[in-house]
């Protein structure tokens, strides 16, 4: 079980309030991702849940029990740190066994659980090595192994993939998602990378300056961003935000059109501009269009085979049904 | 990067320094070895010819030899234990954020800047003097008889003085080591259910092992040749005669250079035995 409820939780460091009163419920078995730009308080929020920071006020409940004053070890949560925080002088086996040893578990039970974790995470080949002899991805797996042997009610991940190279990151992303499906345990995952959030989460919590901007499934956030911040943050490349006269035509202050919802053509379309930099990814091409009179740059996603050159004059047509409208206060207009 | 020419040029340019250092080391060593086989009494006729292994036999068969070896090892051992243990505690204390941290750290290091002779004299005269010392006043304040430290508790006194001098060194090295400990490791251990003492035992202490090794090795080198503290306090009396002090007495008080040189060679052998033991016990910590 692992239902975590935050009730009017606040956190201040001296005079600075990092987390204003915040309510949030994380259901049992859910993969929740906290996402936001750096300094938005997402790591602090995770550390509050872990018990590594004291809450200034409010209540944290785990499975309905008040855990606000409980020390970290008593909360039944396991955490994977950004630096992995492996114990450098212990072998992989001892690292994974450490929490069980601290819980004074019988040696036979410890061995069984460590072997089990090692086989789940494919650690068996290097179980007797020291962390210093492992690659980044292997260390990451050991850190996860150390977390799963405790059979915690929830896992906490603090930007676990940010130290890995891009290729490995995609692989580990899959592995963590796989692990979540296998264990069906609550997981809370902190990242500043919206791609990680979109690909892994059941529920995304978008944070800015300690405030929750929006909570929802990845597709909800993609389809109906509640405000301009979420609209700009979720989706890659970023949504084009257009103000002025064009927005007024739609009866609002700002309109948002995602790059994948704009057609590019040489001859026809209501908007026009010149092609700037184009990024060829093979499957897709992103064109950055200038001189449209709408915004500095309009980003357009096109098929990989579409070829326009720098300086070409092009026409753009946004898909009418997926134009997002925002009022002067930045909030979405339904 | 280095070409053949630049490598040989580097060798030529390093040569003066290497030759100087080598000479610095080899000349005294050779002279000691030379004198240890001579009957050399500066005030009683000077060099009186070869003596074979006479000096060596006389030095070991003297009743003062084995006690001096034991005293040396006792002082080195006790000071090591005290400085390393207290050093770890002090380092952890100083690692805590506190008001006036910079000043406190400098004050802690201060004893290391005091010359050994001076610090020993300060301890002897200001703290440990049986009539006017601070300790004597303290003892009298509680109605106890003042201890005459230098005679009744000579070894503990010297160990105390030397420990006081070397504690800052240990603290300083261990403090820098503690500061390099990754905070996330401690937090991970906290999440893993390790209480304070276990975090210290399983995380902090292993992290410090290399620094502790360095402290032990460096301090041993210097403590084996400790002299000034004994010279100005007990003068080698009351069971505080170390091997170094014994050699000093043979050479300067008995004016027997040959005998003292033989003692010097024994001191080199003792230092090497200690070094071998130390490298066996703690040296493996230095392998990364």
Q: Is A113 on the interface with B (CB under 8 A)?
A: no
Q: Is A54 on the interface with B (CB under 8 A)?
A: no
Is the confidence at residue A334, as pLDDT, over 80? Answer: no
- Report the alpha-carbon angle A141-A142-A144, nearest 5: 65
In this predicted structure, what is the pLDDT of residue B163? 93
Q: What are phi and psi of B260, to 5 degrees?
A: -65, -40
Q: Is A151 on the interface with B (CB under 8 A)?
A: no
Give the pairing of strands A313-318 and A262-265: antiparallel
Write out chain A residues lying below 8 Å of B202, CB-based: 87, 98
Q: Contact at 8 Å (CB) between A172 and A161? A: yes
In this predicted structure, what is the pLDDT of residue B48? 77
The more confidently predicted of residues B43 and A37 is A37
Query: CA separation (Å) from A112 to A73, A93, A151, A328?
Result: 22, 11, 13, 60
- Residue A334 to residue B77: CA distance in whole angstroms: 80
Is the confidence at residue B283, as pLDDT, over 90? Answer: no
Q: Is A72 on the interface with B (CB under 8 A)?
A: yes
Asked if A87 lies within 8 A of B193 by C-beta distance, the reply is: no
Asked if B207 lies within 8 A of A89 by C-beta distance, the reply is: yes
Mean pLDDT across chain A: 89
The domain B29-120+160-287 is placed in CATH, from the list 1.10.1660.10, 3.40.50.980, 1.10.3720.10, 3.30.830.10, at 1.10.3720.10
Instruction: Tell me the per-residue pLDDT of A140-199, one tens digit each, with 9 for 90 and over.
Output: 889 999 998 988 899 999 988 888 888 888 888 888 999 899 888 999 999 988 888 999
Write out chain B residues lying below 8 Å of A85, CB-based: 182, 184-185, 187-188
Considering only alpha carbons, which residue of chain A is nearest residue B188?
A85
DSSP lists the bridge partners of residue A256 as A241, A324
Share of chain A above pLDDT 90, in %: 28
Q: Contact at 8 Å (CB) between A133 and A126? A: yes
Instruction: Tell me the per-residue pLDDT of B185-227, one tens digit each, with 9 for 90 and over.
Output: 988 998 888 888 888 999 999 899 888 988 988 898 889 888 8
Question: Which residue among A83, A99, A150 places its CB closest to the CB of B184?
Answer: A83
Buried b (16+ CB within 10 A) or exposed e, B192-221: bbbeeeebbebbbeebbebbbbbbbeebbe
- Residue A324 to residue B260: CA distance in whole angstroms: 96
Share of chain A above pLDDT 70, in %: 100
Asked if B202 lies within 8 A of A71 by C-beta distance, the reply is: no
Helix intervals (H) in chain B: 4-36, 54-61, 65-95, 101-109, 116-122, 134-141, 149-152, 154-179, 183-191, 196-199, 205-224, 228-232, 243-248, 257-282
Is the confidence at residue A31, as pLDDT, over 90? Answer: yes
Strands of A106-230 (E only): list them.
154-158, 186-191, 203-208, 211-216
In this predicted structure, what is the pLDDT of residue A260? 92
* Helical (H) or strand (E) element with A169: helix A166-183
Instruction: Tell me the per-residue pLDDT of B104-131, one tens digit each, with 9 for 90 and over.
Output: 888 888 888 888 899 888 888 888 888 8
A-to-B residue pairs, Cβ atoms closer than 8 angstroms: 58
DSSP conformation class of A242: E
- Residue A106 to residue A101: CA distance in whole angstroms: 8
The more confidently predicted of residues A33 and A2 is A33
Write out chain B residues lying below 8 Å of A78, CB-based: 191
- Residue A225 to residue A330: CA distance in whole angstroms: 11
Q: Contact at 8 Å (CB) between B186 and B199? A: yes
**Range scoring the smallest mean pLDDT among A52-56, A195-199, A287-291, B141-145:** B141-145
Share of chain B above pLDDT 90, in %: 19
Residue with tokens 């259910």: B193
Q: How confident is the model at residue A295 (pLDDT cuts 50, 70, 90)?
A: confident
Q: Quote the pTM value.
A: 0.79
Asked if A77 lies within 8 A of B209 by C-beta distance, the reply is: no
In this predicted structure, what is the pLDDT of residue B171? 92
User: Domain residues of chain B, as ranges?
Assistant: 29-120+160-287
In this predicted structure, what is the pLDDT of residue B50? 77
Question: Which residue among A73, A86, A89 places its CB closest to the CB of B191?
Answer: A73
Asked if A82 lies within 8 A of B194 by C-beta distance, the reply is: no
Interface with chain B: mutation pick from A98, A142, A160, highest number of B CBs within 10 Å: A98
Question: Which residue among A85, A86, A89 places its CB closest to the CB of B187?
Answer: A85
Distance from CA of A152 to the nearest CA of B (A): 11
Please list, in sequence order, all residues whose beta carbon lies within 8 angstroms of the beta carbon of residue B158, skipping any fewer than 6 positions away. Answer: B75, B229, B230, B233, B234, B240
Write out chain A residues lying below 8 Å of B203, CB-based: 87
Question: B118 burial class (0-12, 13-18, 19+ CB within 10 angstroms)?
Answer: exposed
Q: How confident is the model at residue B1 (pLDDT cuts 50, 70, 90)?
A: low
Residues of B near A (Cβ–Cβ under 8 Å) read: 182, 184-185, 187-194, 198, 202-203, 206-207, 209, 288
Asked if B191 lies within 8 A of A98 by C-beta distance, the reply is: no
Mean pLDDT across the stretch A93-98? 92
- Residue A230 to residue A330: CA distance in whole angstroms: 10
């Amino acid at each position: 079980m692992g239902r975590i409820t935050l009730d009017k939780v606040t956190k201040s460091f001296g005079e600075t309030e990092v987390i204003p009163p915040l309510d949030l419920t994380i259901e049992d078995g859910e993969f929740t991702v906290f996402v936001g730009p750096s300094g938005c308080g997402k790591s602090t929020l995770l550390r509050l849940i872990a018990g590594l920071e004291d809450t200034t006020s409010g209540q944290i409940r785990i499975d309905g029990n008040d855990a606000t004053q409980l020390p970290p070890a008593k909360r039944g949560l396991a955490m994977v740190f950004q630096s992995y925080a492996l114990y450098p002088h212990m072998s992989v086996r001892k690292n994974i066994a450490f929490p069980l040893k601290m819980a004074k578990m019988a040696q036979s039970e410890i061995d069984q659980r460590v072997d089990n974790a090692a086989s789940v995470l494919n650690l068996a080949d290097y179980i007797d090595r020291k962390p210093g002899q492992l690659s980044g991805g292997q260390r990451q797996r050991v850190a996860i192994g150390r977390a799963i042997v405790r059979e915690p009610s929830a896992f906490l991940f603090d930007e676990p993939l940010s130290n890995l190279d891009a290729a490995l990151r995609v692989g580990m992303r899959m592995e963590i998602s796989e692990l979540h499906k296998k264990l069906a345990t609550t997981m809370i995952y902190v990242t500043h990378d919206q791609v990680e959030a979109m690909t892994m989460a059941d529920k995304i919590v978008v944070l800015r300056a300690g405030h929750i901007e929006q909570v929802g499934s990845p597709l909800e956030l993609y389809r109906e961003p509640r405000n301009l911040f979420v609209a700009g943050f979720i989706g890659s490349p970023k949504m084009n935000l257009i103000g002025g006269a064009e927005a007024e035509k739609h009866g609002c202050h700002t309109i948002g059109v995602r790059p994948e919802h704009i057609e590019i053509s040489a001859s026809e379309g209501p908007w026009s501009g010149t092609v700037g930099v184009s990024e060829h990814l093979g499957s897709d091409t992103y064109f950055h269009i200038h001189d449209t009179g709408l915004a500095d740059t309009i980003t357009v996603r096109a098929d990989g085979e579409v070829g326009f050159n720098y300086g070409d004059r092009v026409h753009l047509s946004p898909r009418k049904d997926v134009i997002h409208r925002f009022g002067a206060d930045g909030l979405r207009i339904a | 990067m280095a070409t053949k020419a630049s490598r040989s040029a580097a060798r030529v340019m390093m040569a003066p320094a290497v030759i100087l250092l080598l000479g610095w080391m080899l000349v005294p060593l050779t002279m000691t070895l030379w004198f240890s086989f001579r009957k050399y009494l500066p005030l009683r006729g000077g060099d009186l010819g070869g003596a074979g292994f006479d000096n060596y036999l006389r030095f070991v068969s003297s009743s003062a030899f084995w006690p001096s070896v034991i005293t040396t090892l006792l002082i080195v051992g006790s000071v090591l234990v005290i400085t390393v243990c207290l050093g770890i505690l002090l380092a952890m204390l100083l690692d805590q954020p506190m008001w006036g941290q910079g000043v406190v750290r400098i004050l802690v290091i201060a004893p290391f800047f005091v010359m050994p002779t001076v610090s020993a004299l300060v301890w002897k005269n200001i703290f440990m003097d049986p009539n006017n010392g601070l300790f004597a006043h303290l003892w009298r304040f509680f109605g106890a008889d003042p201890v005459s430290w230098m005679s009744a508790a000579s070894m503990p006194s010297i160990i105390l003085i030397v420990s006081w001098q070397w504690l800052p060194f240990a603290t300083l090295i261990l403090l820098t080591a503690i500061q390099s400990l990754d905070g996330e490791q401690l937090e991970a251990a906290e999440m893993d259910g390790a209480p304070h003492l276990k975090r210290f035992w399983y995380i902090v202490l292993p992290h410090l092992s290399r620094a502790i090794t360095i402290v032990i090795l460096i301090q041993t080198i210097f403590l084996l040749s400790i002299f000034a503290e004994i010279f100005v306090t007990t003068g080698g009396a009351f069971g505080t005669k170390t091997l170094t002090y014994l050699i000093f007495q043979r050479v300067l008080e008995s004016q027997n250079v040959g005998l003292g040189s033989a003692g010097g060679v024994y001191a080199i052998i003792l230092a090497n035995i200690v070094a071998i033991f130390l490298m066996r016990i703690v040296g493996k910590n230095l392998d990364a």
